[in-house]
Structure 1
Amino acid sequence: QSPSTTPVEKKVKSDKSTATPAPEPASKQVAPQVDDLLDLERFGGEIETNDGQKTSLRSLLEESNAGVVIFTYPRASTPGCTKQACLFRDNHKLLTSTGLAIYGLSADSPKANTTFLTKQNLPYPLLCDPAFTLIGAIGFKKAPKGTTRGVFAVDKKGKVLLREAGGARRDSGCCSEPRGQNNRARGCQGRGQIA
């Protein structure tokens, strides 16, 4: 019997004649690391956009120019999550200038995420994952039913570019802002900590 593989592949296998095992439950999956190559056919399952459209990581990558950045947040419209979402909003132009598409991801309902998106004037879609399929696959599921703050970036071919638990910080390479700018002055209503 051959050993089971996970949806994360360290390299592309040359022998594809063997049957593909079913995805492992999120709790048993190994979180992908930088430079891992994801098996996009099976990775992360189906999720939903805040406007109710079914999608997957594979589809998001196909629609992007260069790849995607996904930040995970525990709950829409809470202080820490609002601050985190505003950080990506305020750096949206810089981040998307590289061809990357930005998405927020939580287990919230489409209605809760749409309210959050509208209230904070977010220029990117929010993804809903109540079954924790993608959240678990990228390693940001908190037992028993929660989400850990984090940032995950992958290129169009499925290569992991970044996986950072705890969320983006102003001083991280993901969302650094020019000196002298103030997110609160631009309408960020969150006052909690990001990490």
Structure 2
Amino acid sequence: MPPELRKRKAPAVEPATAPPAKKKGPVAKAVAKVKEAVTGSPKAAETNGSSSQVVVGQTITLDGFGGEVETNDGLKTTLQKLVDESTAGVVLFTYPKASTPGCTTQACSFRDAHADFTGTGFAVYGLSKDSPKANTSFKTNKNLPYTLLCDPGATLISAIGLKKAPASTTRGVFVIDKSGKILAAEPGSPTGTLETAKKVTGGYGSAAAAQEPVVNGANGAAKEDVAQAETAAQVADTAEKIDSNEGKSEI
């Protein structure tokens, strides 16, 4: 009887391990911070779970909504009072910190488009956790024509769904009309928040069209913002290459 031939088992092939994540060098890290300041962090759209879930199209009761905040001049006010004082409603744009690059771009964009909103009866306000002193300096240095609201306890910021964990503010925009109906409530980029507000308030009227050729107006600010973002991205790529070459030379 011929001997039985047995097949030898092939050795088990271990799965290939993924290469270790490439670490950013000091140059790339520094440039990444600049890029984030210009373009806005990709995590900026994430809101804290403790924030209220406001819904566009919903009509809210303004009495007590968001608690009490303070103007940059030190006056106490509420969202209800601001809406009552307006002709058609209120636009609130939120920003993380006064006088920083992205927040300056955002505030100046709303400054340059201010006539578009007042022409439709909407009052514009900036909203942050900054102190009255910090916001007053911001308003004065950038010639902002609207009031900045100070909400250190983030009561109003949280109520409109734009509080960011653990204790910051998501850049965004909240628009409400005279009846208490929410027209917009969403995070966004410095110029994206402006475009959202203009869209829901009818800010693309004749005033906006007349400002189209103005280089330093809202459109100019938007183009400048895009150019800055592209430059930051290019610098970041170059920095990563520099760090990579430095790492090889150290081996």
Give the Cα–Cα distance (whole angstroms) in 1 for the partners of residues 176 and 97 of structure 2.
23
Residue of structure 1 equivalent to 2:119:
97
1:68–1:101 contact (8 Å) kept in structure 2: yes
Structure 2 CA distance for aligned equivalents of residues 183 and 45 of structure 1: 37
| Residues 87 and 183, structure 1, Cα contact 8 Å, conserved in 2 | no
Aligned match for 1:181, one of 191, 214, 222: 214
1: CA distance between counterparts of 2:194 and 2:82? 27
Q: Whose helix fraction is larger, Structure 1's or Structure 2's?
A: 2
Indicate yes or no: 2:180 matched with 1:158.
Answer: yes
State the match for 1:8 in structure 2: none
Is residue 112–residue 217 contact of structure 2 (8 Å, CA) maintained in 1?
no
In 2, distance between residues paired with 1:142 and 1:157?
28
Deviation >3 Å, runs of 4+: 26-30, 175-179, 190-193
- d(CA) in 1 for partners of 2:133 and 2:78? 19
Worse-matched range after superposition: 101-110 or 166-175: 166-175
Q: Output aligned runs, 1:49-128, within 5 Å.
A: 49-128=71-150
Corresponding position of 2:195: 172
Q: Name the counterpart of 2:166.
A: 144
What's the TM-score, normalizing by structure 1?
Answer: 0.77
- 2:162 touches 2:172 (CA, 8 Å); kept in 1? yes
Q: CA deviation at 1:27?
A: 4.8
CA distance in 2, matches of 1:27, 1:139: 9
CA distance in 2, matches of 1:30, 1:137: 5
**Count of aligned positions:** 167
Deviation for aligned residue 1:136: 0.4
- Which residue in 1 is equivalent to 2:7? none
Contact kept in structure 1, 2:173 and 2:193, CA below 8 Å: no
Give 3-state SS (helix, strand or coil) of 1:174's partner. Answer: helix
State the partner residue of 1:130: 152
Q: State TM-score, norm by structure 2.
A: 0.61
Q: CA deviation at 1:38?
A: 1.2
**1:182 maps to amino acid:** V
More strand by share: 1
Out of 39, 44, 60, the residue aligned to residue 66 of structure 2 is: 44
Deviation at 1:180, TM superposition (A): 2.8
Higher alpha-carbon deviation: 145-154 or 31-40: 31-40
Distance 1:55 1:68, change over 3 A: same
CA distance in 2, matches of 1:92, 1:142: 27
5+ residue gaps, structure 1, are 1-25
Q: 5 Å matches for 1:4-15?
A: none
Q: How many percent of aligned residue pairs carry the same amino acid?
A: 55
- Give the Cα separation in 2 of the matches to 1:183 and 1:33: 34
- Secondary structure of the structure 2 residue equivalent to 1:42: coil
CA shift at 1:35, angstroms? 0.8
State which structure, 1 or 2, has the greater radius of gyration over its C-alpha atoms.
Answer: 2
Is the CA contact 2:83–2:178 (under 8 Å) kept in the aligned structure 1?
A: yes
* Secondary structure at the counterpart of residue 58 of structure 1: helix
SS at match of 2:175: strand
Q: Distance in 1 between matches of 2:143 and 2:194?
A: 23
Aligned-residue offset at 1:89: 0.2
